[in-house]
Chain A
Amino acid sequence: MTSDVVIVGSGIGGLAAAIAAAEYGLRAVVIERARRVGGSTSHSYGGVWVANNDVARANGIADSREAAMQYMEYVGGGQTDPARVSAFIDAAPRALAFYQRAGIQLELTPSLRDHFYGTAEGAIADGRHFDVAPFSGASLGPWRSRLETPDGDGWRTPLGRHFSTQAEARERDELAQGAGLIAYALRCALDRGVEVLLETAAEKLIVRNGRVLGVRTADGRELIGERGVVLASGGFESDTTLSQMSENLPECRSVHSSAIAGDGLRMAAEAGAAIRIIHNNLAVLLGYDEPALPAERNIRVIANKELVAPHGIVVNRAGERFGNEGSFQNFAAALRVFDGRTRQSRNLPCWLVFDRQFVTRSGFGLAGPGTLPDWVVRGGTIGELARRIGISADQLAATVARFNTFVESGEDRDFGRVGKAWSLAQLTGVGPNPGLGTVELPPFYAVPLVTTAMGASGLAADPAARVLDWWDEPLPGLYAVGNAAAHDEYGVGYQAGQSLSSAMTFALLAVESIAAG
């Protein structure tokens, strides 16, 4: 089968590339190894972060390229490639307008400030975060049942603005957030004659005379992309080896499907592509093993839920706090601290320790306020709890006592935890407002936490999304967008919406490069 462009992966990077290819008059085929369309995008909040955009400007919001670049300087944490940052910031507003024109109804998410508003220069309080209006599932026709969607109905309503209740949205089969974004993009791609092949896994790149010319699939087909191949196959979070190498966390678990296992990276590396490690990636979240979730992704992330709720703290095996629980980025860095004397991680394993007030107010687990699963470790005293989880009772008691004095004074003098962390939870109605609260009313509880990362390392790519070889020369015909490429446009991160925005932006740039070539 011959096309102009073969696109590997049907997350937003792949579908955006397909739409752009069609707009440029190129024949595109999208292949997806899963049974459904959407990849990791379908399971995301669907935020698309675009600084210095026309929509905000039309709404009277002041923003500028300079402010955006300043903000990226902070977000990047020294792990960026300046040319890629510029390409991203310069092209994202154009990409937003391009995909809006194509039919993806992206709207400003109201009042969603930048993550680091108040901390970083160039952050603004409103006007950079987009997500889609509700999409009517029926308009996908037969493709509706081939759309990857999350469990429950929380994903059916847009962030921070009211269209319907979750029940109404379910009734009308309205799709929003990540799955909604995919639905719009899929509709746009299909309308333009893009072919989407499900259950089609790319296995090897076809290289002829030094040029990438297509992919061979696991079932032995050769799909030729005469003008190029775009890898939009996601990252490698479900591959233990790649994840360990990239994240430098002792045991980093995946919340992605098992398909997110570095296929694109391996295929490209075999063809001579270089990889790039983003060090100190701060997109590391804490969660716990939730027995009620499907085995494949049974980590329930609580980074902006229970972790930031009052009346709880996180302690390491020494029984000490080690970071600001209210800010997962601050926490992420502390999770990597390695003890040169003991030669082990200083702060992993770690536990969320909380009391009865926490349960009453927030609850722990899937069931909400007032509830607590049976398996949670408990103790009548702090000492008893400490013994049950195998840490020093005296030290844990001292840590809790000290923390309680901070609650009284309203100031966390050790780590600066504050009452209002940035939290999507506030917008989506999940969980209470974060804050400080004492840990003093028995019984006391402990839950062992696990880490999960949204990987930032990947294939080295240039500002046109061309995959680079080990001498920083483009590999002819090969492009990488989204999580398949190293995120050296935002470095250590993590700002909500930049991952999807990057995927869409570099998809457009890749296709422009293909069309020009």
Chain B
Amino acid sequence: MNACEVLVVGAGRAGLAAALATVERGLETIVLEKATATAAVQQTLRESNVTLLSGCRASRLIVESGRVVGITLADGRAFSARERVVLATGGYESDPVLTRRFEDVPNLVSLYPPSATGDGLRMGGSVGGRIQLERNNLNIRLVDEHGAIVDVARPNSKIVNRFGQRFANEAAPAELAAALRVFDGRTRTFTNLPCWQLFEDAAGSHKLELHPSIASSARLATDSDARVLNWYGQAIPGLYAAGRLASIAH
């Protein structure tokens, strides 16, 4: 088994920050990334003497006597961490199961890379990490069928629902986001989804179907030291979470 003091899962911004912080304190640190880190991240980690292993998909946390002590990878390799495991895997926008389970807006598309599959949420949840759900998450964008963000407030345009009605001030993203959640108890459908942007330009009149995209609402509850908390409010020994995966407990 590969051993180190700190294992960081995910080489995004949060993972990078965590790795730099731990190596600065003299802790031997390995960063596991399932895809490929950006060139800038690779260079920064190299310069800081942090080991970066790409193509390493973390699969399960290893728990011994109630303490998180390492990780097994999907390919069966195992890494042990004497000090701590830091999950920095981001959201689950590209995972349809978790998205359906935790988001109350239907038919979502992901603006995140295919690797945003909620591995950290699953791993943390499976060792008893508490899920914290942000309700009325207003971080919703509307995109076209290719996933390109639509200028919802463009001149000579309006957004309408299936009844042809406007339902929010197009220039107020929070109002649009809130309106997309409205559910009709009688018809059991979303009043304002699907929706379309109607606009006019030099080429004529257009009707563009809009798709909602949301940043993940469910996270692991953490304390102010980034320790992952269980459902009883206690820190899980050895386990930390950072970035978009973590939520300060309330």
Contact = CB atoms under 8 A, between A and B. Distances in A.
Interface stretch (B22-30, B124-132, B151-159, B194-202): B124-132
Given A280-B104, A333-B185, A471-B122, A270 B231 contact: yes
Contacts of B135: 244-245, 248
Interface in A139-171: none
A407 interface: no
Contacts of A272: 125-128
Nearest to A469: B126
B133 A245 contact: yes
A492 B172 contact: no
A78 B188 contact: yes
A333 B183 CA distance: 6
Contacts of B174: 340-341, 343
A117 interface: no
Contacts of B122: 274, 470-471
Task: State which size class the interface on A falls in.
Answer: 35 or more
B138 A340 contact: yes
Q: Specify the main secondary structure of chain A where it touches its partner.
A: loop
B232 A333 contact: no
Contacts of B179: 340
A6 B51 CA distance: 48
Interface string B178-192: 110111111010000
A329 B188 CA distance: 10
Nearest to B188: A77
Interface string A313-329: 00000000001100101
Nearest to B182: A337
Nearest to B132: A245
Contacts of B231: 265-266, 269-270
B177 interface: yes
Contacts of B130: 269
Interface residues of B, number: 39
Nearest to A119: B186
B230 interface: yes
Contacts of B125: 269, 272, 274-275, 470
Contacts of A274: 122, 125-126
B146 interface: no
Contacts of B186: 119, 324, 327, 329-330, 416
Contacts, number: 98
A169 B28 CA distance: 75
B191 to A, nearest CB: 9
B136 interface: yes
Contact of B185 (A266, A269, A331): A331
B102 interface: yes
Contacts of B103: 279
Contacts of B145: none
B150 interface: no
Interface in A222-267: 244-245, 248, 265-266
Nearest to B185: A333
Nearest to B101: A276
A56 interface: no
Contacts of B185: 282, 323, 327, 329-334
B227 to A, nearest CB: 16
A393 B83 CA distance: 64
Interface in A411-465: 416, 460
Nearest to A471: B122
B126 A277 contact: no
A270 B123 CA distance: 12
Contacts of B182: 333, 337
A28 to B, nearest CB: 27
Contacts of B102: 277
A470 to B, nearest CB: 4
A470 B230 contact: no
Nearest to B135: A248
Looking at A337, A343, A469, A470, the one whose CB has the most chain B CB atoms below 10 A away is A470
B3 interface: no
A244 B183 CA distance: 18
A33 to B, nearest CB: 16
Contacts of B121: 470
A329 B182 CA distance: 14
Contacts of A269: 125, 128, 130, 230-231
Contact of B126 (A245, A343, A470): A470
B106 interface: yes
B116 to A, nearest CB: 16
B97 interface: yes
A325 to B, nearest CB: 12
Contacts of A323: 185
Contacts of A74: 188
17 contacts: A74-B188, A77-B183, A119-B186, A245-B132, A269-B130, A270-B231, A272-B127, A274-B126, A277-B102, A280-B183, A333-B183, A333-B185, A334-B185, A336-B181, A340-B176, A340-B179, A341-B174
Given A274-B122, A280-B183, A339-B178, 19 more contacts: A74-B188, A77-B183, A78-B188, A245-B132, A245-B133, A248-B135, A269-B130, A270-B128, A270-B232, A279-B103, A330-B184, A336-B183, A338-B178, A339-B175, A340-B172, A340-B176, A341-B175, A416-B186, A470-B123
Q: Which 9 A-B pairs have the closest CB atoms?
A: A340-B178, A333-B185, A340-B174, A340-B175, A470-B122, A77-B188, A279-B104, A330-B185, A270-B128
